[in-house]
A and B are shown apart, each in its own frame.
Chain A
Amino acid sequence: MQECDKFRVHFSSYIEGELIAEERQALEAHLAVCTDCSEAIYQIKIIRRSLQTLPPITTSQNFEHRLQQRIADLNNASPWATPFMNLRHNWKIPAIGSAVASIVIVGVLLLSPAQQQASKNNGKHLPAAIHNPLTPTSSFSKMNAASPQTVEQKEAMPVDSMVNRQAIPRTNRRPVQLVGD
C-alpha cells in the first residue's frame, strides 16, 4: 500500500501526459502489477471525461435586463443612502457597536459602587471592588502600585472621566489613558 501511495501522487500528471519519461516508466511498471492502481487510473479517466462533458446551462432570458436594472439602481442611489444600505446588509458593524456599548455600560455600573465605597472609606483601606476579580479596575490598581497617587484616586479616575467629569475639580483630573499605564 505504501508503494501505491508513492505512485498515487503522480496519477494526474500521468493522465495528462505531464510525467517525465523516467517517472512514467516507473509508474507504468507499477500499474502492470497493481490492479488497484490501474483500476483507479481507468476510473479517474472516466470521471474526468464525465466532468468535461457535463451539459452546459445558460442564464435566464432576463439575466442581462435584470443586471442593467440593478446597475441603474446603483447609479441612481443617493450618495447618503449607501452607508446605511451597507449597514443594513452588514449586521456585524451594529452588533459590535452594541457589544462595545454594553460593555461600557456594565463597566460603569460595576465601577460606581466601587467609587462610592472609596469615598466612604476616605483612604483608610482598599475599597472592596479592588479585591473583586470581576471588577475591571483591579488590574489598573495593580499596575499602578508604584505610582505616588492613592489607590482611591486611581480607581476613581476612569469612572469620573466617563460618568461625571464635572464632579471632580479640574486639577485632580487625569486623562483616561494614563490610568492603565
Chain B
Amino acid sequence: MVRKKNDNKPQRVSDEELIARFQQGDQQAFDILVHRYKDQLLNFVYRFVGNRNDAEDIVQETFLRVYKNKHYYKEIAKFSTWIYTIAGNLAKTELRKRKRRKLFSVSNFMNEEKDYDIPDVERNPELEVDGTIKDDIIQKAIEKLPPKFKEVILLRDVQGFSYEEISQILNIPLGTVKSRVNRGRLKLQEDLKFLFENEEKSKEESKI
C-alpha cells in the first residue's frame, strides 16, 4: 500500500498545522507538505491517467493550486481530503480532454478499442508467483474502468482511504461510495476472470 496511514511519531507535525502555518506565510511548511504528499499523489494520479509524465504534471499543478488557493482551505476538512480532491479533479479533467482529443482523432475511427484492450490471454497467461495479478494487466484493467468506479477503487484499494474519507474527497454520500466500490470490484472481476479460467485449465492439465 502506498499510503502510510499510521505514522504515529510524536514529533510529527500534522498536515492541518502545516497548512495553517503556510496560510500565515511560512513557506517551509508548504515545502514539508510537498515532500509529504508528492509521491502518494503521483501514485494516485498515475493509476488514474496511466501516463507518468502527465501524472507528474498534474501533481505539479495540484501543488500550484494549493499554493495559490491556500486561503480557501478551512480546518473543517482534513488536508489530505482537500488535496486529493484537487488532484482527482485535475486527473478527471485530463481524461475528459483525452476523450475529446480521441473523438477528433483519425486513429479512433480505425481501431477504437485497441488502446484499452487488456493484454491477450495467450501472451499473459500466468499470475504472479505470489498469486497476485501482473502489474501491467491490473493497470490496464484499472484504465478500462469508467472514471466514477476508477476513482473509488484507487482511493480505497490502492491509497487505503476509509469510506468516510472517500465520501469527503469526492463529495458524494457514503452509501454511493460503498456501492461504487462494490460495482467497481465486480467490474474488475468480470474483466479479469479470464486469467483465472486460464489458471483453472492449467491446474486441470497438470493433473492429467
* Chain A residues in the interface with B (C-beta under 8 A): 8-13, 39-40, 42-44, 46-60, 63-64, 66-67, 70-71, 74
Q: Which residue of B lies closest to A42 (CB)?
A: B196
Q: Are B132 and A59 in contact (CB under 8 A)?
A: no
Complex Cα gap A10–B189 (Å): 15
- Nearest CB on A from B67, distance (A): 6
Known: A59-B39, A71-B67. A50 touches B133 (CB 8 A): yes
In the complex the two chains form, is B60's CB within 8 Å of A70's CB? yes
Instruction: For B10, list chain A residues within 8 Å (CB).
Output: none
The 10 A-B pairs of least Cβ separation, nearest first, read: A12-B182, A51-B157, A50-B132, A50-B133, A59-B38, A56-B2, A43-B189, A50-B138, A44-B189, A44-B185
Which residues of chain B have C-beta atoms less than 8 A from A51's C-beta? 138, 142, 153, 157-158
Which chain A residues lie closer than 8 Å to B34 at the CB level?
64, 67
**Range class of the B interface residue count:** 35 or more
Q: Which of B38, B47, B182, B193 contacts A64 (CB 8 A)?
A: B38
**Main SS of the interface on chain A?**
helix
Question: Which of chain B's residues have a CB closer than 8 A to the CB of A47?
Answer: 133, 138, 185, 188-189, 192
CB contacts (< 8 Å) of A58 on chain B: these are 39, 42
Contacts A43-B193, A46-B133 known; A54 to B158 CB distance under 8 Å? yes
Q: Contacts A12-B178, A51-B157, A67-B34 known; A60 to B56 CB distance under 8 Å?
A: yes
Which partner residue on chain B sits nearest A48 by CB separation? B157
Contacts of B56 in A (CB 8 A): 59-60, 63
Is A9 a contact of B157 with CB atoms below 8 Å? Answer: no
Q: Is the pair B186, A11 in contact by a Cβ cutoff of 8 Å?
A: yes
The verdict on B121 contacting chain A, using a C-beta distance below 8 Å, is no
Do A56 and B39 have beta carbons less than 8 Å apart? yes
Q: Could you tell me if B158 and A52 are in contact, using CB atoms closer than 8 angstroms?
A: yes
5 A-B residue pairings within 8 Å (CB atoms) = A53-B132, A54-B47, A58-B42, A67-B34, A74-B68
Contacting residues, chain A, for B46 (C-beta < 8 A): 57
Determine whether B166 belongs to the interface, using a CB cutoff of 8 Å to chain A.
Answer: no
Which residues of chain B from 1 to 31 have any CB-CB distance to chain A below 8 Å in the complex? 1-2, 31
Tell me the complex Cα distance, A58–B196, Å: 31
Bitwise, B136-171 to A at CB < 8 A (1) or not (0) is 001100100000000001000110100000000000
Q: CB distance A67 to B63 under 8 Å?
A: yes
Contacts of B52 in A (CB 8 A): 57
Q: Which residue of A lies closest to B128 (CB)?
A: A50
CB neighbours of B157 from chain A (8 A): 48, 51-52
Instruction: Flag if A57 contacts B43 (CB, 8 Å).
Output: yes
Q: Any chain A CB within 8 A of the CB of B35? A: yes
Do B182 and A11 touch across chains, with their CB atoms under 8 A apart? yes
**B182 contacts across to A, CB distance below 8 A:** 8-13
Contact between B193 and A8 (Cβ–Cβ < 8 Å)? no
Residues of chain B lying within 8 A (CB to CB) of residue A59: 38-39, 42, 56, 59
